[in-house]
Amino acid sequence: MKRSDVTPGHSPRPLKTHITAALKTHFAAALKAPLAAALVGFGAMQAQADTLWEIYLQALDNDPQLAADRAAYHAGLEAKNLGRSALLPQIQGTAEASKVRSDTDRVQSQFNDDGTILVIPTTTKSDTDDRTYSVRLDQAIFDLPAWFGYKQGKKISEQAAAEFSANQQEMMLRVSVAYFDVLRAYDVLEAAIAEEEALAKQLEQTQQRFEVGLTAITDVYDSRAAYENAVARRLTAQDDLLSNFDALSVLTGGHHDSVAPLGGDFAVVAPEPIERSAWVDFALANNFDLKASRLAADAAGYSARAAAAEHLPTLTGSLNYQKYHSDGDLEIDSQTIPIDTTQETRIAAITLQVPIYTGGRLSASRREARNLAFQAEDLSNLVERDTVQNTRTLHRAVVTDVSRVEARQQAVISAKSALEATQAGYEVGTRNIVDVLLAQRTLAQSRTDFANALYDYIQNTLDLKRAAGLLAPDDLQSLERELNPATPVYRVAEAVMVAPPTK
């Protein structure tokens, strides 16, 4: 089934005002103003319509959410390096320079042989420049907590990579949702304008029939009510289109006035492979959210093992070299003695540390880490079940969408034929105005339903590939080839206040 088969005789893009010059009653002025305000002059539009791939490339450089995800990814990659650092040699060098001055007055007393006391006062002054240099190397020889911390860091870095892959796929979905929501809103607006134009013409004809006595005033009131409701729906659709254009700016940081719509030969096909179990298998093997949850569970498991290993002894080897030099003068009772001292110290040691009692901290830490590991494992199981269920649901939705789009296509054709038959019956008196208005509403709703079904199919297809872990930029490029930039979809102008028509 192709999109070109949907609405025979329907007006091509861009939107046009179809109200004819035949509207010469007082309703014509009320109609032309809001409809003209719904469109921006083509001369004010950009010459080249933005395409899906162009929006995606702009979002790669400007989307704040992706930038934040990229920063989180690079931060997560450092977990492996942080964990490995505890296993590598730790080398530390220090240098200290100091100037020391001291003054000491001391009195010494001693007993002489004759029993008298001899008092000896001593004055000491020193002025030295001291220099100390040292280098220390520590190497873990046996440290199980550090080893498991390294294994945990590796899993956290792998988890960051999986999460960033999921974030990139999510960004593709956000781009596609924003882009096709513009096209969805445009098709809804197009249907709303077509309904408004048809009801305006119907209102004029009903007014003319009333003036010559061929119909009752109630038919005029019914037509007027239907028309005013159509105006309200058109204004709502117009605002939705503007909002969806603005949503593109959130992703790209730029301004967008036009985008390329789907071509008329866009085909709706069933997912390949058609077997639901195959998609579930793809999801279990490739879904990045599931991969990230499994890696998070593995990391939590290593964290629990590291906490349990804190009870074990650690063995550390160390080498220490220190050089001390002092240069200055020492003055004792006016006698000066030069100072020139150099001392070198070399130490090689092996240190065994055994935790004996830490106030219950290690036991509490072990229990906490173990329960966090249980939590991560349960969350991983939950993500796996959700992935399976979501994949099945999306596969079912895509298969249903194929039939639903075809059914909505036939509904548009049938509604158009029903409207023509109802209008013919109204002309000969076999149908009333309510039947005509209802048929007009049914046609407009059928066109809206078809647009929703078509874009739901596109989005559900991309969501299915995302759930299966298969979504890639190539999928956006495939959709890009289905677009037709030659007939762009334009941004509409803001709504303006228009006085209601007089009775």
pLDDT for position 123: 80
pLDDT for position 96: 94
pLDDT, the chain, mean = 86
Compute the average pLDDT of residues 177-191. Answer: 94
pLDDT for position 13: 43
Distances in Å between the alpha carbon of 232 and those of 235, 239, 419? 5, 11, 22
Angstrom distance (rounded) from CA 189 to CA 240:
9
Q: What is the pLDDT of residues 136-180, one digit of tens each?
A: 999 999 999 999 999 999 999 999 999 999 999 999 999 999 999
pLDDT for position 44: 39
Compute the average pLDDT of residues 63-77. Answer: 96
pLDDT for position 252: 93
Query: Which pLDDT band holds residue 5 (cuts at 50, 70, 90)?
Result: low
Angstrom distance (rounded) from CA 310 to CA 370:
13
pLDDT for position 10: 40
pLDDT for position 38: 41
pLDDT for position 3: 58
Q: What is the pLDDT of residues 224-235, one digit of tens each?
A: 898 898 899 899
pLDDT for position 66: 95
Q: What is the pLDDT of residues 404-441, one digit of tens each?
A: 999 999 999 999 999 899 889 988 888 888 888 888 88
State how far Cα 126 lies from the chain centre. 70
Query: Which pLDDT band holds residue 219 (cuts at 50, 70, 90)?
Result: confident
CA atoms within 13 A on the CB side of 430: 6
pLDDT for position 351: 95
Q: What is the pLDDT of residues 30-63, one digit of tens each?
A: 334 443 344 444 433 444 789 999 999 999 999 9
CA atoms within 13 A on the CB side of 298: 16
CB contact set of 136 (below 8 Å; sequence gap of 6+) = 91, 92, 93, 94, 318, 319, 320, 321
pLDDT for position 496: 57
Q: What is the 3-state secondary structure (H, E, C) of 254-297?
A: CCCCEECCECCCCECCCCCCCCHHHHHHHHHHHCHHHHHHHHHH
pLDDT for position 2: 55
pLDDT over threshold 80, residue 304: yes
φ, ψ at 102 (rounded to 5°): -145, 145
Planar angle of CA 311, 316, 322, nearest 5 degrees = 145
Compute the average pLDDT of residues 101-125. Answer: 75
pLDDT for position 174: 96
Compute the average pLDDT of residues 324-329. Answer: 89
Q: Which residue type is seen at 442?
A: T
Strand locations in 26-178, DSSP E?
90-111, 117-142
Compute the average pLDDT of residues 356-378. Answer: 94
Angstrom distance (rounded) from CA 337 to CA 326:
13
- SS3 label, residue 42: helix
Distances in Å between the alpha carbon of 247 and those of 194, 232, 236, 336? 26, 23, 17, 86
187 token code pair: 């098709």
| Helices and strands per DSSP (H, E), number in the chain | 10, 6
Q: Which of 16-25, 84-93, 211-220, 389-398 has the lowest mean pLDDT?
A: 16-25
Compute the average pLDDT of residues 469-474. Answer: 95
